[in-house]
Amino acid sequence: MIKFNNVSKRYADGTLAVESLNFEINQGEFFVIIGPSGCGKTTTLKMINRLIPLSDGTIFIKDKKISEYDIHELRWNIGYVLQQIALFPHMTIEENISVVPEMKKWNRDTMRQRARELMEMVGLEPETYLDRKPSELSGGQQQRVGVIRALAADPEIILMDEPFSALDPISREKIQDDMMDLKRNLKKTTVFVTHDMQEALKLADRICIMRDGKVVQIGTPQELVTNPANDFVEEFVGSKYRNGIPTIDLEELLQPLNETESSIVVPVSTSWKEILELLSEHEQLVVDKTGERIGMINRRSVIQYLSTNLQDRGIANE
C-alpha cells in the first residue's frame, strides 16, 4: 500500500535525517514507527503526504509514485493527526469535522450524518458537542475530535504523529482504547509515530524501530519481544528485563478456557521466557494447575501484561 524504496532525506543544513528506508506498509495495517528523539520518525511520516520532500529514493502509494499524485488529491486522501490539537478555534466542532468533506463538495446531509456517526464512534454525544467551540471541550475530547476530523472524508490512509503524547494518562488510555475500536471497525492503513513502547505494543500490527535515521527492526509486537534483532531493540522493548520479571503470575492473565485439539498445555509455574517462546509459535496456551485446566493465556494478554510491567518499572518510555 505504502512502499518506501531507498528513501533518504538530507535537510538543507546537511543533516541526514533518514537514510535508505526500504519497507512496505500493508493495506489496512496499523504500522507504528518508534525510536528515540531525533531518529527520523517525523521526517519519515511527513514524506508520505509530501509535507517534506524526499532527497533520494521513491515512495509509492498503491504502486503510484507520490510525486505523480495531484497534491490536493494526495492530501485529501490522507488523514493527518498531530500532537498539538490543531482544531480551528473559531469554528464549531461540526464545522471542524466537515472541513475536508466540504472541500470535497460532499452534500450537506451526508456531511451532517458523517459528523454524527463519527462523534458517536468516539463516545461524544453529537447533540451536546457538535455546536460547541473547541475551547469548550477538554484536551482529551479535542484530541478525539482531531482524530475523527482526520477520518471525516474517509481517507484510505491516516498519519498520526505522537497524537496522544500531550494528554494526561487517563485521557490517553481512553483515547487509545477508542483507537483500538476504530482500528477494528475501520481497518484504515495507519502510520503512527510514538516514542512510547507501551502505546506501540498496545496498538500496532507491526512496529518499526528506528535509530539514527535507519530502520533497526520491523516486526509484530510479539516478534520484537521474543526475537529482538540486537541489543538496542532488546533494551528498547525492555525484553532484557523479561527474565528479571520476578514471578509472572499466569493466574493474573487467565482468559476463559476455549481449548482446541491442538492446544498446548503448560503448568502454571512455567517461566516467563518459556511462555514467550511458546507464544511465538502458538496463539494461545492452556494453563494447568495441579492437574486442573484453569484457563488460557494468549499473545495479546501477555503483551499487555509485559507492557504494563514495563511501564511500572518506568522503562517503557525513552
- The residues that touch ligand ADP, with contacts defined as CB under 6 A, are 11, 13, 15, 17, 35, 37-43
Cα 241 vs. chain centroid, distance in angstroms?
23
* Rounded least distance, CB 142 to ligand ADP, Å: 22
- Cα distances from 32 to residues 36, 99, 297, in angstroms, run 13, 27, 25
Q: Phi then psi for 25, rounded to 5 degrees? A: -100, 130
* Rounded least distance, CB 41 to ligand ADP, Å: 4
Cα 22 vs. chain centroid, distance in angstroms?
20
* Rounded least distance, CB 253 to ligand ADP, Å: 33
Q: Which is nearer to ligand ADP, 38 or 123 (CB)?
A: 38
Strand, helix or coil for residue 176: helix
Q: What is the dihedral of CA 64, 68, 73, 79, to 10 degrees?
A: 60
Q: State in Å, rounded, how far the first CA of the chain is from the last one.
A: 30
* Rounded least distance, CB 300 to ligand ADP, Å: 28
Q: Which is nearer to ligand ADP, 42 or 307 (CB)?
A: 42
Q: What is the dihedral of CA 151, 157, 162, 164, to 10 degrees?
A: 30
Q: Which is nearer to ligand ADP, 167 or 210 (CB)?
A: 210
Nearest to 18 by CA among 51, 42, 2: 42
* Rounded least distance, CB 23 to ligand ADP, Å: 16
71's enclosing H/E stretch is helix 71-76
Residue carrying the nine cell digits 457538535: 130
Q: Which is nearer to ligand ADP, 45 or 118 (CB)?
A: 45
Q: Which is nearer to ligand ADP, 7 or 182 (CB)?
A: 7
DSSP strand E in 144-291: where?
Answer: 157-161, 189-194, 206-211, 214-219, 264-267, 284-289
- Cα distances from 55 to residues 45, 51, 204, in angstroms, run 14, 13, 28
Q: Which is nearer to ligand ADP, 23 or 76 (CB)?
A: 23
* Rounded least distance, CB 163 to ligand ADP, Å: 13
* Rounded least distance, CB 215 to ligand ADP, Å: 12
Question: Rounded to an integer, what distance in angstroms lies between the CA atom of residue 39 and that of residue 210?
Answer: 6
Whether the CA torsion 101, 86, 200, 181 is positive or negative: it is: negative
* Rounded least distance, CB 218 to ligand ADP, Å: 16
DSSP letter for 26, please.
P
Q: Which is nearer to ligand ADP, 119 or 316 (CB)?
A: 316
Q: Which is nearer to ligand ADP, 41 or 206 (CB)?
A: 41
